[in-house]
Amino acid sequence: MKHLFFGGIHPKYNKEMSTGITEFLTVTPKTVVIPLQQHIGAPCTPLVRVGDRVLRGQKIGDGEGLCVPVHASVSGTVVAIEPRPHTNGRMVNAIVIENDMRDDTVELKGNTTPLAQLDDDTILHAVREAGIVGMGGAAFPGNVKALSAMGHVDTLIANACECEPYITADDSLLRTDAKHVLEGMEILRHVLRPERAVLAVEDNKTEAIAKVKQLLQEHPDIELVVLPTMYPQGSEKQLIQAVTRREVLPGKLPVSVGCAVFNVSTFAAIYRAVRLGMPLIQRIVTVSGEAIAQPQNFIVRIGTPFHDLIEVAGGLHDATERVISGGPMMGFAQSDLQVPVVKATNSILCLLKDRNGAAENPVCLRCGKCVAVCPMRLQPLYMYRFTNAGRIDELKRLNIFDCMECGSCAFTCPGKLPLVETFRKGKAMVREANAK
């Protein structure tokens, strides 16, 4: 197979588990928990108080600087504003709303102005006010990312690779609503004015590819690029290299090579924000894994507790070992199933055992397999050794912050070293040393 970027692996993808049911179920929880920080940047300040009645789509939190607002995903009464568990493992201030099941919605102000007549500020303001962030996992404010790319990129890439095992949320979106993805691409293409607009997808999503090809007749300026399936091709630096052959240097951003990458779910949200006036209050979430009774994709209100969604999916197997927010490679295990679905939650993975976990007595065999598969061309075995030795100087020299924690090294390690966990520790050590 032709390699389009350095390193990478081919894990068992297990995507067929959640693609058998094509009709989405919409989960309507009794209570939603809306964290005031669902994005990279400053947390929101509450705009409501306990006892207030809120409407679906109402802005309930906002802030200054690198911040986007959060909105109520149901109508009902605010019953608490307090720290609640977050998928990132921390306690985050959140607004708790008791659902009145009426779904009374704020007046939505869509914009039907022809795209050629829409000015950039109007579009970016709509994206910001809708609370849109990167929905592939990064959760960077969408309006800020678009603004930083204006005048600096010649290639716009829609990321539909979804290369991590089990997850099929973006695949399901393309199979059911590719039209809005392409419309969202047209809107952002109008703002960024790139020479090339590409929707990149891996070749294991045949139904989605067929759907997009059919719709592209109405979008002649958008190009479909089908890539051979490989992990972690969905990471933006590897995707840029696969699509354009340009390599983003260590410490640099995609804009440095003239590219901007957005997840396909983000493009669909941009369409709904600009054209329908709908804020980001729901998304598609994959619930899958050997430990879940009925794996499938759901349309989920932001703030829905994991527990509620798992129950609708038939519940957990008695021998469930862990529940992960995200995928098996880069996701985070959860200790509390009351954590809510947030804007960047694309999957809830329920596993019977940790198949890629570390051994009880891990040993480095000096085999070098981790070096061969690292897509960032790092040296994981030395990063592991120097983290355990507390060698901050060496961790800096080895560019530990270029590690994107994709887990390729841990997956291929015959000694079952806890590599990703160790690198997270190493990064924290360097941050602490820099702060001092």
Tens digits of per-residue pLDDT, 392-436? 999 999 999 999 999 999 999 999 999 999 999 999 999 999 988
**Nearest Cα to Cα of residue 110 among 119, 100, 96, 123:** 123
Is a pLDDT exceeding 90 seen at residue 92? Answer: yes
From the CB of residue 45, how many other CB atoms can be counted at a distance below 10 Å? 13
The 8-class DSSP code of residue 233 comes to T
Evaluate if residue 49 carries a pLDDT over 90: yes
Per-residue model confidence as pLDDT tens digits over 99-144: 999 999 999 999 999 999 999 999 999 999 999 999 987 899 999 9
Q: What are the residues whose beta carbons fall under 8 Å from the beta carbon of 298, sequence distance 6 or more?
A: 24, 25, 26, 27, 284, 285, 287, 309, 312, 313
Q: Which amino acid is at 75?
A: S
* CA distance between the termini of the chain: 48
Strand ranges, E, within 88-174: 91-99, 155-159
Q: What are phi and psi of 196, to 5 degrees?
A: -135, 135
Decide: residue 422, CB within 10 A, 0-12 exposed, 13-18 middle, 19+ buried. buried
For 299-352, what is each residue's pLDDT tens digit?
999 999 999 999 999 999 998 999 999 999 999 999 999 999 999 999 999 999
Domains in the chain (CATH in brackets) are 109-276 (3.40.50.11540), 369-435 (no CATH)
At 34, is the secondary structure helix, strand, or coil? strand
The residue among 157, 160, 233, 163 whose CA lies nearest residue 189 is 157
Position 390, amino acid = G
113 is written with which tokens? 């102005």
pLDDT digits (tens, 9 = 90+) for 229-287: 999 999 999 999 999 999 999 889 999 999 999 999 999 999 999 999 999 999 999 99
**What residues pair up with 9 in beta bridges, in sequence order?**
231
Looking at the predicted structure, is the pLDDT value of residue 23 above 70?
no
- Of 354 and 99, more confident: 99
Question: Per-residue pLDDT for 357 more than 60?
Answer: no
Alpha-carbon gap, residue 273 to 124, rounded angstroms: 10
Please give the single-letter amino acid code of residue 393.
Answer: D
- Mean pLDDT on 9-37: 88
Q: What pLDDT score does 1 carry?
A: 44
Task: For residue range 378-395, list pLDDT tens digits in order.
Answer: 999 999 999 999 999 999
Q: Which of 46-55, 97-106, 357-366, 370-379 has the lowest mean pLDDT?
A: 357-366
**Locate tokens 């207030």: which residue?**
52
CB neighbour list of residue 186: distance below 8 Å, 6 or more residues apart = 115, 219, 222
DSSP-derived secondary structure for 274-301: III---S-EEEEEEESTTBSS-EEEEEE
Omega before 254 within 30 of 0, i.e. cis: no
